[in-house]
Chain A
């Protein structure tokens, strides 16, 4: 019985996670023209906005 309850519990929490994930994906990410060469808002090399701009170039 215990393993069954554990599986159900994890399944419920995963469903909640997927629900919040889908909701989050529905909200569009803010997009505006920024100069990526001089941008100092983020020093992160993995910045999604920077990657998006480099792909567009």
Chain B
């Protein structure tokens, strides 16, 4: 039985301290590309959350039940990318069917979730951290799910905060040469510095 503290530490650590976007610099493409509007940012965060959690479960199972027993761990990146790509196809299908507005808002970034390295990064770190050897197969899976959920929540938090700031910046008196991407990158840098202050809590 895993202590609830482990889950708490996993979720806080992956959400705030090791935030995928601002601390590990993964998933920066959708972070900058789909953060113009809060609605699109939240839609993207939900899609990423779904793909991240499900892909973490599947990749964990595939790694420990197929790749490791047969000694073919070396193909894990190919296998993980294909699993993530399949999940993205399912998500795209669901969004096409149920939310036309979100489908248009996400645009090219929806299929590009496949290349969102945050998802592959979280799946890979779950394996690299040796959760199965530390907590057992079932326990490791639970911690992997919580870690992936925390990372997705951290991604959603940053997307929401950044899109809100960008919406405000649209109406701010920004110098002409700083408008658009330059001021967005400076804002992202300041946010990353703020998150750096959370390091060492856990």
What is A's interface to B at a CB cutoff of 8 Å?
2, 5-6, 9-10, 13-14, 16-17, 19-21, 23-24, 27-30, 32, 34, 41-44, 46-49
Query: Which segment, of B17-25, B67-75, B120-128, B188-196, faces chain A?
Result: B67-75
Query: Which segment, of B48-56, B99-107, B149-157, faces chain A?
Result: B99-107
Contact residues of A: prevailing secondary structure: helix
The 8 closest A-B pairs by CB, nearest first: A30-B100, A20-B89, A13-B82, A6-B72, A24-B89, A44-B107, A20-B86, A24-B93
Partner of A47, one of B36, B93, B107: B107
What is B's interface to A at a CB cutoff of 8 Å?
33, 36-37, 40, 66-67, 70-72, 74-75, 78-79, 82-83, 85-87, 89-90, 92-93, 96-97, 100-101, 103-109
| Nearest chain A CB to B166 CB, angstrom units | 11
Query: With the chains together, A48 CA to B107 CA distance in Å?
Result: 7
| Nearest chain A CB to B201 CB, angstrom units | 36
Contact residues of B: prevailing secondary structure: helix
By a CB distance below 8 angstroms, the chain A residues around B74 are 6
Contact A42 B103 (CB under 8 A): no
24 A-B residue pairings within 8 Å (CB atoms): A2-B70, A5-B70, A6-B74, A9-B67, A9-B79, A10-B75, A17-B85, A17-B86, A20-B87, A20-B89, A20-B90, A23-B89, A23-B90, A27-B93, A28-B96, A29-B103, A30-B96, A34-B104, A41-B37, A41-B101, A44-B107, A47-B107, A47-B108, A49-B107
By a CB distance below 8 angstroms, the chain B residues around A17 are 82, 85-86, 89
Contact A27 B96 (CB under 8 A): yes
| Nearest chain B CB to A27 CB, angstrom units | 5
Besides A6-B74, A17-B89, A34-B104, 6 new A-B residue pairs in contact (Cβ under 8 A), listed by A number = A9-B75, A13-B82, A13-B86, A20-B86, A23-B93, A42-B107
A9-B66, A9-B75, A23-B93 given; A30·B86 CB < 8 A: no
Contact B103 A24 (CB under 8 A): no
Contact B107 A46 (CB under 8 A): yes
B90 nearest in chain A by CB position: A20
Contact A41 B104 (CB under 8 A): yes
| Nearest chain B CB to A30 CB, angstrom units | 4
| Nearest chain B CB to A29 CB, angstrom units | 6
By a CB distance below 8 angstroms, the chain A residues around B101 are 41
By a CB distance below 8 angstroms, the chain B residues around A16 are 82, 86
A5-B72, A24-B92, A27-B96 given; A48·B108 CB < 8 A: yes
